[in-house]
Amino acid sequence: METKSENRSFGGTQGVYSHASEACGCDMTFALFLPEEARTAPVPLLWFLSGLTCTHENAMTKAGAQAWAADHGVALCFPDTSPRGDDVANDEAFDLGQGAGFYVNATQDPWAKHFKMWDYITEELPTLLERNFALDRERQAISGHSMGGHGALTIAMHLPDRFRSVSAFAPIANPTESDWGRKQFTAYLGDDTSTWALHDSTRLMEERGFDGPVLIDQGTDDQFLHLLKPEALAHAMTARRQDGAFRMQKGYDHSYFFISTFMEEHVAFHAEALYA
Amino acid sequence: METKSENRSFGGTQGVYSHASEACGCDMTFALFLPEEARTAPVPLLWFLSGLTCTHENAMTKAGAQAWAADHGVALCFPDTSPRGDDVANDEAFDLGQGAGFYVNATQDPWAKHFKMWDYITEELPTLLERNFALDRERQAISGHSMGGHGALTIAMHLPDRFRSVSAFAPIANPTESDWGRKQFTAYLGDDTSTWALHDSTRLMEERGFDGPVLIDQGTDDQFLHLLKPEALAHAMTARRQDGAFRMQKGYDHSYFFISTFMEEHVAFHAEALYA
């Protein structure tokens, strides 16, 4: 593991690190914020998965999460959103290939060789973090934005024992019924749609739900509402009587100005579960 | 004036606007955050001047200032740091020309035609803001980072009736004695060093001071300490018995991770003066 940068931030350290990833078959970069408390004891960890086109850097610099994580003594991990590099398959579209891993293990060529973001986020990166940083693996929570909200929700519902709480900002909520989903799942997973359902938050909510609190924020002026399909997930959460809240935030769009506005409440929401 | 974008942020609006600047002889872009209170009455305004290489965008997206400005009902203006465009003189170095206006009126060729950032920040842009937005011109404060901290301090001491308070993050504090200053003042203002002293915060503090509170934050691990020369300004503030504080912040560097950490305290500092 190589330290790319470390900056003092809110009494803790905002680091950026890279490492050779076995899962993805390329070097991967991630950002980790450690609050001051991590100097003396392992701290809880909140994962934040980012959206289309993002690297580890966008949320690290624009979401304003460190202020609140420091307040609560919580670490933050911002992974990249796909494998990267000249040897890694790509597509001219912004919503397929590099920057658009969709948090699945690709089974189809040319993607299968490197696009194993599910394994990377759920297995390889957690193991690396536990070995190298003062983190308490028993106290984890997960959040994300857009494609990353999709990732956070699907991963949380698959691994209910790992995460105490899950939240999302404007998640791609029903990808099997959206052009943000069908296109990528066809490319990465193939035509057999039975493999897709494992990666659809609405379907997972209908079938499994989450054994903990769920918080979703969605802007009413989001330019991608027709692709995100929040109504499907809100229906599924309510029909299941899922512990949680689905909040429509008037006037907000899909940007980091929306995310940063509600980040304080998301971090506090997770901190309550992490310190319960 | 053209609206480039407007995003809901912390209950208010983060806008980006461009306009044809007479002072700079080119189109200029600025960002303005208006808190919710501006919908019903004029609000106080905090200027934030950015550092070398920045546009209006860096501090708007990375400083985390909107959260605190919204708390206090204060507007934020993030101007650009120089004239821009293919017709505007430039230099290959990052610290001269576009992105490095140094908040002076250039008198020397090839800079004199466009590089009038002093007039732009102190006259043209304030007039434009007053005409177009719900801002209270009687309640203004000013802050900035690095080259922008230099700009904030020098402008505040030149225009003491305009600003109730001034703060800076890691300002270029003594540019007439630094390679961040001598090079640029020679290029923009010429060899007559008597014209330079008007643009040196340490000298202005010695000669004039500021009729209001001053807050300076400087990281102890700042990689540019030898260029910033904080000790000169701290000496001048103390020798003058200037109302204010010069704080050395242990372990922090020159980055936005430093700025965002202390932004809450800077906005609160200015809000106290603006609402006194």
Fold of A2-275: Rossmann fold (3.40.50)
CB B140 within 8 A of CB B47: yes
pLDDT band at A205 (very low <50, low <70, confident <90, very high): very high
Contact A255 B10 (CB under 8 A): no
Q: How many CB atoms lie within 10 A of CB B108?
A: 14
Question: Cα(B237)–Cα(B230) distance, rounded to whole angstroms?
Answer: 11
Asked if the Cβ–Cβ distance from B252 to A8 is below 8 Å, we say yes
- Chain A closest-CA separation from residue B105 CA (Å): 33
Q: Flag if B261 and A11 touch (Cβ within 8 Å).
A: yes
Give the pLDDT score at B160: 85
The burial class, CB within 10 Å (0-12 / 13-18 / 19+), for A61 is buried
Residues 6+ positions from A207 with CB-CB distance below 8 Å: none
Whole-number pLDDT of residue A111? 98
**What is the rounded CA–CA span in Å between residue B77 and residue B62?**
14
* Predicted-complex ipTM score: 0.87
Query: Nearest Cβ partner of B8 from A14, A64, A258?
Result: A258
Tell me the per-residue pLDDT of A147-203, one tens digit each, with 9 for 90 and over: 999 999 999 999 989 999 999 999 999 999 999 999 999 999 999 999 999 999 999
Q: Which of B210, B204, B23 is nearest to B117 (CA)?
A: B23
Cβ <8 Å between A67 and B14:
no
Q: Judging by beta carbons within 10 Å of its beta carbon (0-12, 13-18, 19+), is residue B225 exposed, middle or buried?
A: middle
Beta strand B12-21 with B26-34 is antiparallel
Domain boundaries, chain A: 2-275
Helices A65-72 and B256-274 cross at an angle (nearest 10°) of: 90
Give the residue numbers of B marked as catalytic.
146, 222, 254
pLDDT one-digit tens code per residue, A92-116: 999 999 999 999 999 999 999 999 9
Residues of chain B contacting A255 with CB distance shorter than 8 Å: 7
The confidence score (pLDDT) of residue A263 equals: 98
Please say if the pLDDT value at position A134 is more than 90. Answer: yes
CB A175, CB A182: distance < 8 Å:
yes
Nearest Cβ partner of A8 from B64, B67, B251? B251
- Catalytic entry in A50, A143, A146, A201: A146
* Residue B260 Cα, gap to closest chain A Cα (Å): 8
pTM here is 0.92
Q: For chain B, which residues score pLDDT lower than 50? A: none
Instruction: Give the pLDDT of residue B173.
Output: 98
The pLDDT tens digits of the residues spanning A53-63 come to: 999 999 999 99
Q: Which of A10, A64, A219 is closest, CB to CB, to B67?
A: A64
pLDDT of residue A253: 98
